[in-house]
Amino acid sequence: MTEPRRDSRWWGWGDPDVPTELGEAAERMLGERGISTGADASPPEIDRVEIPEAVPVDERVLSAAGAENVFTGNEDRIRHANGQNYLDLLELREGRLQHAPDAVIVADSGPRIAAILEACASAGVAVVPFGGGSSVVGGVTPLKGDHESVISLDLAGLRGIEVDDRSLTAKLGAGLRGPEAEALLAERGFTLGHYPQSFEYATIGGFAATRSAGQSSSGYGRFDSLVSSIRLITPEGELSTLSTPHTSIGPALREVVVGSEGILGVIPDVDVRIRPLPAARRYEAWIVEDFEAGCEIVRGLAQADRLPTIIRVSDDSETEVNLAMALPSGAAGSLFRRYLKLRGREGGALVITGYEGSPAAVHRSRSDVAREIRRGGGVYLGQAAGKGWEKGRFHGPYLREALLERGVLVETLETAQQWSGHRNLYETVRAALKSELAANGMEGIVMCHLSHAYRDGASLYFTVISTQGPDGGAANWPKVKRAACAAIQSAGGTLSHHHATGRDHAPWIEGEIGTSGIEALAALKERFDPSGIMNPGKLLDASRAGSDPPSR
């Protein structure tokens, strides 16, 4: 028997033993921008959280799952009720949940999943596949759709590994979290190289189901490109793709499963491409004139096939906030300030580069990239600042907890566009965010970075830190997010480069994939999930098409 995991904060992100502190410099910086950090938005005790009453689980589902794998206690239901977007976290802190699964069922094998899905289909029970629960787009919200009850199918029991060290592939269980998968691979001398900021809790199955991208994706590839073959267990049988480096047999069914967000079935394991552990690593930081100059450097590197393993460019506003929040007294902070003084300028954009591989490859790539950054006007800040970024690369969500604790609104959204429309997308979305914050009486900071680059374009990742506004964050954020989605679509960007669709983007996808696209997805769903039990209301939600935007 595997129990659901209970090792993170139930009300938000992270290891409860890791403190969530803001720091004086951050408080000062926020205060100067009119963002008060004086509120106390601590969560209640868990036994005071109000959740919808549970509907008893149908006997057929109980016997398919095995009674010992069914958990109906409030703590487990609460831990599976929300993902990790701002509205999810606000609701948890307020202690009143709109949705909760009627039961959490932990699955530990493919045959068990098949039996559970079959029983749920005949009993009319909705199923929400649950990996790490780190979705920021409402992907794990336990919606019932047309059904009487809903279970959260927790895949924590699937943690196997099989390595083929000749082909450099590994079969990884869907329930392995990022650090677990990397530790198992490292014992054998390998790495997957997938490091999203949610690495600590997100799982292999979740990476596949959402087409995730990691901080090192420029070097190792996005998760979808690491998938060599994949399996999907559906209420109507199993789909599996051949383990082969490539095939020309029809459209890629692998791509039907990767990114399916739990609406077609459950991914029990994924065959991934692995690499030997890198012998050398080097991280460093640079300052360039402004965001545009940084993006141009990245475009040049991408188009010359010279991208390092990691490259990210923060816009001027993110650079300032990062330096205040994360590196206030470190080497980067003082060098940055000195540099600004020398140049008599007020802005500048931070660039982080990282190189991983053999010592020779790291040396070669570093020389190429450094030359191009210098040519683009960059000033070297050194390895200490790069190492500082590397050390704190998974700490952002803890800072967000600290801000939420003080009643500050923090949310992110991301998109991508080709280079010809990239600058326009940045400006359009930024302007929309700023003007909607102002229209709702919210004082905020809008910042952005580029972290995934291609020959033809790049991602843009926006962070908003603001006051909640007079009507409160739950009322105001959906309006801001709606403005951002509309701006993204008007500027030709994708609704998401790597966070996926979930519930939040479902009403908007017709604008991206068109009516035929929606119908094609609906036909796939009809084939694999005719009773519509799989993750209702996510990705494909024709009933909400054109309706109101993300809100709870």
Ligand X SMILES: Cc1cc2nc3c(=O)[nH]c(=O)nc-3n(C[C@H](O)[C@H](O)[C@H](O)COP(=O)(O)OP(=O)(O)OC[C@H]3O[C@@H](n4cnc5c(N)ncnc54)[C@H](O)[C@@H]3O)c2cc1C
- Tell me: does residue 203 bind ligand X (CB under 6 A): yes
**Token pair 């095939």: residue:** 247
422, 452, 482, 498: which one binds ligand X (CB under 6 A): 498
Which three-class secondary structure state does DSSP give residue 342? helix
Report residue 259 as tokens.
């990114």
Distance CA 116, CA 153 (A): 9
Give min distance, CB of 492 to ligand X, in A.
21
Q: Does 220 bind ligand X (CB under 6 A)?
A: no
209 counts as binding ligand X under rule CB under 6 A? yes
540 binds ligand X (CB under 6 A): no
How many residues bind ligand X (CB under 6 A)? The answer is 39
Report 109-128 residues binding ligand X (CB under 6 A). Answer: 128
SS (H, E, C) 494-505: CCCCCCCCCCCC
Is residue 125 within a helix (H) or strand (E), and if so which, with residue range? strand 125-130
Which residue's CB is nearer to ligand X, number 130 or number 220?
Answer: 130
Using CB under 6 A, which of 20, 210, 234, 309 touches ligand X? 210
Kindly give the residue spans of alpha helices, DSSP state H, lying in 41-173: 59-65, 74-79, 86-94, 110-123
| Sheet with strand 103-106: strands edge to edge | 70-71, 103-106, 149-154, 125-130
Interface with ligand X (CB under 6 A), residue from 80, 147, 387, 538: 538
Nearest alpha carbon to residue 380 among 332, 334, 308, 416: 332
Tokens 């997010």 identify what position? 481
Binding-site member from 69, 198, 218, 317 for ligand X (CB under 6 A):
198
The β-bridge relationship of strands 457-466 and 444-450 is antiparallel
- Which residue in the set 78, 266, 327, 425 belongs to the binding site for ligand X (CB under 6 A)? 266
Alpha helix segments (H runs only) across 2-109: 24-32, 59-65, 74-79, 86-94
Q: Please report whether residue 258 would count as binding ligand X according to CB under 6 A.
A: no
User: Candidates 45-53, 106-114, 259-267, 330-338 — which segment interacts with ligand X by CB under 6 A?
Assistant: 259-267
| Site stretch for ligand X (CB under 6 A), options 27-35, 45-53, 129-137, 435-443 | 129-137
Determine the residue with CB nearest ligand X. Answer: 206
Site string (66-95) toward ligand X, x via CB under 6 A? -----------------xx-----------
Query: What dihedral do alpha carbons 141, 146, 149, 154 form, nearest 10°?
Result: -40
Residue 476 phi/psi, 5-degree rounding, is -85, -40
Question: Minimum distance between the CB of residue 358 and ligand X, rounded to whole angstroms?
Answer: 26
The structure tokens listed for 229 are 């073959």
Closest separation between CB of residue 172 and ligand X, Å?
11
> Which tokens go with 375?
């040519």
Give the burial class of 351: count Cβ atoms within 10 A of its Cβ; 0-12 exposed, 13-18 middle, 19 or more buried: buried
Out of 4, 43, 101, 131, name the contact with ligand X by CB under 6 A.
131
Place of tokens 């919200």: 141
d(CA 524, CA 506): 16
Residue whose CB is less far from ligand X, 202 or 409: 202
The least distance separating ligand X from the CB of residue 23, rounded to whole angstroms, comes to: 19
Q: Judged by CB under 6 A, which of 499, 505, 525, 552 binds ligand X?
A: 499
Near ligand X by CB under 6 A: residue from 119, 140, 295, 432: 140
Contacts with ligand X by CB under 6 A lie at 13, 83-84, 128-136, 139-140, 155, 174, 196-198, 202-203, 205-207, 209-210, 212-213, 261-262, 266-267, 397, 498-500, 502, 535, 538
